[in-house]
Chain A
């Protein structure tokens, strides 16, 4: 089937998105074609603005539209507790609990030698540098309870402990193998309150 070039191009771009196969791409493209013009324009603008305005906070590496991010700038937050997470969406999940009032550090992934992801591919150097320059008393390791998340958490704990900083992890009770983002807020809040020292 030969589509006019703009249609074919949109379908090719949509097809690159995760979970979108050729059929879905085709359906979405037709849907966009039939949208009111303003709505299609709003979608295009949202994509462009996302890439123009969203960047990583230079301190905690969370997603932000201002640098440093709003959490890093908020002086009412506890400045001596740092919660280490894998992804920006984990920050959102923990913020949703309203149980945590400290700072964050986003690693952007977990160790996975099978996929060639080593410590140098995560924001670990930056984490250690923060621990040297900021008055952090406690590091909460909140990596996902997957095999990779656990190993990453342990690796970080081993680096942090010699610095004389208290290292804790979320209490068990999280479903094994689950992602933080899927955990409901009540469970997550409980896990935060019941966090444990990493031995």
Chain B
């Protein structure tokens, strides 16, 4: 799929922007702090309903303005559609956030997701390998909320149930009483049902990503090392890892490693039951998908611990390329790919390999501070844009 138009009003440092777009690679060039990342952020905002930076919606409104709007026309597999997301904040009136799909207001923001598909790659993603588990979980979650409506609703419900349950546990911890608060069991059930859906969704995704990531990595690293992916589930301890040669996930087989939601709900519930005393002591929920991790091995060594700088780069790039292919397989079309400032982090060899791998992708946005000598050769036929102080001009 590709964006055919992008329209911004008071988004970050863009007072007003109307940009016609087309399939192909878009090089977004400009000096620092001109609005290159902001432009990519606006596209991701339409796809995900939130910023990919650590930013609240209010940070996205141009300073001094009361509201902002992002809109796009998208050409997808099923034809043209339009998306619009509007956010306003006024003192005394609070915030409103409204999305429109084909001009019609959607009742819930989650209905926006899954229409425009994006994969984002920022310099921060180079932390994917050695960063905390949360950043690898976020990668899986960001994929799955876009591709899977069931996952999307389970994800929101899980977060909610987790917050509610933790609040019960904190009160229990503070009370000093040994007697279990009666409603705890009700929250267990809701947590386990939605959590089991998340684990099943992630296992299915990892089972597919394993192959794609290994292929992408072989192409980038010249086949010298083997990348393997796994899923480390906090339910049932290390026993329930998903590794390439050792698949003993909840009794599943390598061909169908994903257990069903019902049996996993039972596993989750009994695990919660066993952990009661410890959870009471700690005042928080100790097992569940919010504690899981995506495992990464290079030649059977844990890349999360041992990978060198260079290996981390290759692995994180391979993960992103695998993601793009995964979207294509599941959705039947390529996502829009947003690459922020990543070229400066990659040597020429990896840049060329990246350009080759991205050849078939329908639409790519790539930011860079300068058009380095080799860039045009690496990205032949790309469109060049210059960003300066919230204005975008097409070059050449």
**Which residues of chain A have a CB within 8 Å of any CB of chain B?**
21-23, 111-114, 118-119, 147-148, 150-152, 154-155, 158, 176-177, 182
Contact = CB atoms under 8 A, between A and B. Distances in A.
A148 B160 CA distance: 9
A154 B269 CA distance: 14
B187 A151 contact: yes
B161 interface: yes
Given A119-B183, A147-B161, A154 B189 contact: yes
A147 B90 contact: no
B157 interface: yes
Interface stretch (B76-84, B162-170, B292-300, B313-321): B162-170
Contacts of A111: 164, 183, 186
A158 B186 CA distance: 8
Contacts of B108: 177
B92 A155 contact: no
Contacts of A182: 107
B161 A21 contact: no
Contact of B157 (A21, A155, A176): A176
Contacts of A112: 164
B253 interface: no
Contact of B167 (A114, A119, A147, A158): A114
A113 B107 CA distance: 26
B308 interface: no
Interface string B193-210: 010000000000000000
A147 B190 contact: yes
B245 interface: no
Interface of B: 90, 92-94, 107-108, 110, 153, 156-157, 160-161, 163-165, 167-168, 171, 182-183, 185-187, 189-190, 194
22 contacts: A21-B92, A21-B94, A22-B93, A111-B183, A112-B164, A113-B164, A113-B167, A113-B168, A118-B183, A147-B194, A148-B160, A148-B164, A150-B189, A151-B186, A154-B186, A154-B189, A155-B182, A158-B185, A158-B186, A177-B108, A177-B153, A177-B157
B93 A147 contact: no
B190 A22 contact: no
Nearest to B163: A114
Nearest to B193: A150
B153 A155 contact: no
A150 B190 contact: yes
A150 B94 CA distance: 29
A158 B163 CA distance: 22
Contacts of B187: 113, 151
Nearest to B110: A177
Nearest to B187: A151
A155 B183 CA distance: 6
Name B's interface SS: helix
Given A112-B164, A114-B164, A151 B157 contact: no
Given A21-B94, A113-B167, A147-B160, 16 more contacts: A21-B90, A111-B183, A113-B165, A113-B187, A147-B190, A150-B190, A151-B161, A151-B190, A152-B186, A154-B185, A154-B186, A158-B186, A177-B153, A177-B156, A177-B157, A182-B107
Contacts of B167: 113-114
Nearest to A112: B164
A21 B93 CA distance: 5
Contacts of B153: 176-177
B157 A23 contact: no
Contacts of B156: 177
A24 B389 CA distance: 36
A48 to B, nearest CB: 28
A142 B108 CA distance: 22
The 10 closest A-B pairs by CB, nearest first: A21-B93, A155-B186, A113-B167, A154-B186, A147-B160, A151-B186, A113-B168, A176-B153, A114-B167, A22-B92
Contact of A113 (B93, B157, B183, B185): B183
A22 B94 CA distance: 11
Nearest to A157: B186
Contacts of A150: 189-190
A18 to B, nearest CB: 11
A147 B155 CA distance: 11
Contacts of A21: 90, 92-94
B190 A113 contact: no
A112 B157 CA distance: 13
A33 B183 CA distance: 50
A158 B184 CA distance: 12
Contacts of B90: 21
B262 to A, nearest CB: 11
Nearest to A24: B93
Contacts of B92: 21-22
B164 A154 contact: no
A176 B197 CA distance: 14
A147 B186 contact: no
A180 B186 CA distance: 20
Contact of B190 (A23, A119, A154, A158): A154
B34 to A, nearest CB: 35
A104 B171 CA distance: 32
Nearest to A20: B93
A151 B94 contact: no
Contacts of B161: 147, 151
Nearest to B182: A119
A104 B160 CA distance: 28
